[in-house]
Structure 1
Amino acid sequence: MTAVAESFSQLWDPQPGWLNTASYGLPPKPGWEALQTVLSDWRVGATSWEPWDESTTRSRESFARLIGSDSADVFVGSTVSAAIAPIAAALPDGAKVLVDEVEFTSNVYPWMVHGDRGVEVIAAATDKLVEAIRPGIDLVAVSAVQSSTGTVLDLAAVVAASKEIGALLVVDASQAAGWLPLDVSGVDALIAHTYKWLMAPRGATLGYLSPRLQERCRPLEAGWYAGENVHTSYYGTQMDLARDARRFDQSPAWFSFVGAAPALELIEQIGVDVINRHNLDLANEFRAGLGMPPGDSAIVSADIPGAEEAFAAAGVRAAVRGGRLRASFHIYSTIADVNLALNALKNI
């Protein structure tokens, strides 16, 4: 653990053996305490909702800084699939969408449901994805880090290949934002749910839409919160939507964003580069203990029959995805967690 990571370690108190951030992240104390405060206020009606909603603005601005975007191009929502829906609806009939063959379905089904109007989803193997970006593909939909395998996307190569043929590029960053440095240059949409590596409550999704994509999409889920002035958009038939990406906002789940804002700001304070180094150091210690070469991902996927049962017996919490063990390491993970996991596996 780096000295910087060590200085923040007291902000979490995980039970030993939590190696499952790819399923959900653990809240830092600032996020947890902020959430307890507003829940107490809610219980007795101590305040109106406006102070809670300040966290939505803070989350939007923090996310924009983390991905190198202007906050005017960031929208808020609830889930990745709901955020993708307006983009999918804007595709012309007969459009072809390229996905990774192991892509998480929140970035597959929103395209497939348009099959009745000829939208075709084409799958390529992870290691063949870039070469599959060829004329005829209208949109590439892919994760920055694959959920099941932990494979890190060569984003620069995908951006270049998509640009060469004029295809739109939509990136699901749910398994990347918070530990992997990200930049939206050349990307048309980048969407992340915050309950994994961004360590927020489930229900807060943030996304970037490029100006050119904003112009192509209709804000299908527009409601009062998408208004230019939310406080004058409560009633009636006069619609004045926000001029920027806010017109794609879904009305936020307040308490989810109350927990999200301090967590995102803490990630900024620690630094994604520091978190990245910490996570990869631990992941590679684990890989070395399994006799695997070093990798570039905070997610380790390995074919180890009996690992799930061995982990359960030792109190290690990880996951099985695609029939393979999946262990994931984040800023609150320690070398003790690595050793606990390796010791659990040593007899199998």
Structure 2
Amino acid sequence: MHEAFGEQFQIQPGYLNTASTGVPPLRVGRRVASAVEDWYTAAHPNASFDAEVDAARAAFATLVGADPDRVAIGSAVSSLIGMVAAGVPDGTRVLTAAEEFGSVVRPFAVHADRGVTITEVDLEALPERVADHDLVTVSVTQSRDGRTVDLAALRAAAERTGARVLLDVSQAAGWQPLSLGWADWLVGVSHKWLLSTNGACWLACSERGLAEARPSAASWYAADDRWNNLYGASAALHPGARGLDTSPIWHAHLGAAEALPWLVSLDLASVRAHCVGLADLLLERLDLAPRDSAIVALDLPDGAGSLAEQGIAASVRSGRVRLSFHLYNTEEDVDRVVRALRS
């Protein structure tokens, strides 16, 4: 058992794979497990968690600096971004980072038949290329190597040109402070740095972004007065962001309702300092330059093999070993990696 930032975690030393799957606080895991038991023992087999969906929705908005009344919920990044992509005009010119995570850009790519085009550029060059495009879609922190887009430069470029901006915060929210209400759309998932069950996702919209997204999924959960409008074609969708809601995976949002308000209560500047401090300490001990990110990507001859033999959990992305540090990691994890590599 390990305690960090006021919560207990049942986690083994050497777990450095939060960028794939975060480990929830023990309290969060037990709450979800209890609800699952209620289901399979038929204690509450048809339980819904509307209050928890809304609590997680509000907490996500706080974490990213958005308006909670303009947050839609769903279960996958690609499906929520798909509603943004469905609403862009024919011929929209989309800008993204080279080797961006597929779910962030492919929902636009499938509209090529409408003349939607995709331009991929180096992440560092992205702000200077905004002027030639109508919409930018990019992860705040890149999944494959932990690099972060220059948000100030991107915002300035978008404000000069009027370009729309969609930011994926899936690899950023939860370990660093964010204030991104200026973006048109913000999307993020529950099961990485937000330490919740897989299956919850959010789309925060600006006023302009909400007006331009298209509710192409038109879920029953998006209906105005949803529980009294379950049937038929004529039920009106909610006039706000909830009109973009898709059917929730109940237990995922239940877990998020436990984890996200706790994350909101933390000093995220301290969380960031902890995570980045450990990542940069590892780089220093490997005689590499600091990268100011909680994610480290290393070129290792045998991939993650030597690390796995020493009980270290990591991922391989684009041929590089990806290590990710969160609030439950310690200097002991850094030491384990260094020993494994030197052995």
**TM-score normalised to the size of structure 2?**
0.96
Q: How far is 1:271 from its partner?
A: 2.8
Deviates more, 1:306-315 or 1:278-287: 306-315
1:98 pairs, out of 95, 105, 120, with: 95
Q: Which amino acid aligns with 1:314?
A: Q
CA distance in 2, matches of 1:178, 1:315: 25
State the match for 2:170 in structure 1. 174
Instruction: Show CA shifts across 1:146-183 (max 9, x none).
Output: 01110011112111111211110000111001112111
1:189 counterpart = 2:185: yes
Instruction: Show CA shifts across 1:78-110 (max 9, x none).
Output: 111100011111111111100000200101110
State the match for 1:161 in structure 2. 157
Structure 2 portions without partners, runs of 5+: none
Q: How many residues align?
A: 342
Q: Secondary structure of 2:167's partner?
A: strand
**8 Å contact from structure 1 (residues 97, 138) kept in 2:** yes
1:116 counterpart = 2:90: no
Instruction: Give the alignment of 1:1-348 within 5 angstroms.
Output: 8=5, 10-47=7-44, 49=46, 52-135=49-132, 137-347=133-343
CA distance in 1, matches of 2:266, 2:233: 46
CA distance in 2, matches of 1:175, 1:270: 18
CA distance in 1, matches of 2:106, 2:68: 28
**8 Å contact from structure 1 (residues 96, 138) kept in 2:** yes
Q: Which amino acid aligns with 1:191?
A: V
Q: How far is 1:52 from its partner?
A: 2.7
Q: How far is 1:213 from its partner?
A: 1.6
Q: Which amino acid aligns with 2:90?
A: D
Instruction: Show CA shifts across 1:45-66 (max 9, x none).
Output: 2236455332111100111111
**8 Å contact from structure 2 (residues 185, 206) kept in 1:** yes
CA distance in 2, matches of 1:9, 1:334: 15
Instruction: Show CA shifts across 1:283-304 (max 9, x none).
Output: 1111111111222100011222
Q: Percent of aligned positions with the same letter in both sequences? A: 39
Instruction: Show CA shifts across 1:255-280 (max 9, x none).
Output: 11111111111211223222111101
**8 Å contact from structure 1 (residues 307, 345) kept in 2:** no
Q: How far is 1:307 from its partner?
A: 4.5
Decide whether aligned partners of structure 1 residues 194 and 10 sit closer, same or farther in structure 2, where only a CA change above 3 A counts: closer
Aligned-residue CA RMSD (Å): 1.6
Structure 1 portions without partners, runs of 5+: none
CA distance in 2, matches of 1:27, 1:246: 27
Q: Secondary structure of 1:152's partner?
A: coil
**TM-score normalised to the size of structure 1?**
0.94
CA distance in 2, matches of 1:280, 1:273: 10
Q: Which amino acid aligns with 2:272?
A: N
CA distance in 1, matches of 2:9, 2:273: 18
